[in-house]
Amino acid sequence: MIFAVFGTVERRSGLGRIFPLVSSRSNPDCWLMDKISKRTFLKGAPVLGITAGGPILAGAATHSENPLSKQETLLDPHYYSESGWQFGSQAIHHGEQEGYQVTPISQDKCAPGYQRPGNLKNPTVAALLRKVMELEGTQAAVGGPCGMGIIAQTYMALLRPGDRVVAHRCNYDWVMTLLREYLPSWGIEVQFLDFNQPERLEESLRKRSAKLVHWEPYVNPSMEVLDTQRLVEIAKAFGALSLVDNTWLTPYLLQPAALGADLVMHSVTKYMGGHGNAMGGVVSGRRDLISTIDRSQNWLGGLLRPMDAFMVTQGVKTLPLRMTQHSKTAQVVAEYLADHPAVKRVRYGGLPSWNALGQQASPRGFGGMLGIEWKQDRVHQSLGNHVRLILNATSLGDPCSRIMARQEETDRGIPARYTRVSIGLEEADDLMADFKQAIEKC
Per-residue CA distances from 95 to 115, 131, 314 (Å): 20, 5, 12
Q: How confident is the model at residue 122 (pLDDT cuts 50, 70, 90)?
A: confident
pLDDT bucket at 319, cuts 50 / 70 / 90: very high
List of residues 6+ apart from 36 with CB closer than 8 A = 19, 20, 67
Q: Which CATH class is domain 87-316?
A: alpha beta
Q: Which of 111-115, 257-261, 268-272 has the lowest mean pLDDT?
A: 111-115
The residue type at 246:
N
CA dihedral 98, 99, 103, 108 (to 10 degrees): -80
Rounded to two decimals, the pTM is 0.84
Q: Which of 21-25, 56-60, 184-188, 269-273 has the lowest average pLDDT?
A: 56-60
Specify the pLDDT at position 114. 59
Cα torsion angle, 214, 218, 224, 227, sign = positive
Q: Is 70 helix (H, G, I), strand (E, B) or coil?
A: helix
Residues of the chain with CATH 3.40.640.10: 87-316
Q: Which amino acid is at 171?
A: N
Q: What average pLDDT does the segment 401-421 reach?
A: 98
pLDDT band at residue 345 using 50, 70 and 90 as cut-offs: very high
User: Which of 17-31, 167-181, 196-210 shows the lowest mean pLDDT across its residues?
Assistant: 17-31
Strand extents, DSSP E, 151-280? 164-168, 189-193, 212-215, 241-245, 263-267
Query: Does residue 390 register a pLDDT over 50?
Result: yes
Share of the chain above pLDDT 90, in %: 74
* SS3 readout for 132-152: HHHHHCCCEEEEECCHHHHHH
CATH superfamily of 320-441: Aspartate Aminotransferase, domain 1 (3.90.1150.10)
Residue 66: is it exposed, middle or buried by C-beta count within 10 angstroms (0-12/13-18/19+)?
A: middle
The amino acid sitting at 137 is: G
User: CA-to-CA distance for 342 and 339, rounded, in angstroms?
Assistant: 9
Q: Each residue of 207-220: pLDDT tens digit? A: 999 999 999 999 99
In this prediction, residues 331-348 reach a mean pLDDT of 98
Cβ partners under 8 Å of residue 18, min gap 6: 40, 43, 44, 47
**pLDDT classification of 4: cutoffs 50, 70, 90:** very low
Which 8-state DSSP code applies to residue 111?
Answer: S
**Rounded CA separation 74/10 (Å):** 28
Pairing verdict, β 369-374 and 343-347: antiparallel
Average pLDDT along the chain: 85
Q: What is the pLDDT of residues 31-71, one digit of tens each?
A: 333 344 444 444 444 433 333 333 322 233 333 343 333 45
Domain with CATH 3.90.1150.10 in the chain: 320-441
Answer yes or no: are the C-beta atoms of 397 and 368 closer than 8 Å: yes
| Residue of higher predicted confidence among 1 and 271 | 271
Confidence band, pLDDT 50/70/90 cuts, at residue 112: low
In three-state secondary structure terms, 413 is coil
Using one digit for the tens of pLDDT, what is the confidence trace for 227-248?
999 999 999 999 999 999 999 9
Beta bridge partners of 402: 391, 422
324: number of Cβ within 10 Å: 23
DSSP state of 17: G
* Degrees to nearest 5, angle at CA 359 with 353 and 363: 100
Predicted pLDDT at 343: 98
- Determine if residue 323 is left, alpha or beta; phi over 0 gives left, psi from -120 to 50 gives alpha, anything else beta: alpha
Mean pLDDT of 342-369: 89
Per-residue pLDDT tens over the stretch 147-168: 999 999 999 999 999 999 999 9
- Listed in sequence order, the residues at least 6 apart from 248 whose beta carbon sits closer than 8 Å to its beta carbon are 216, 217, 218, 220, 270, 271, 367, 369, 397
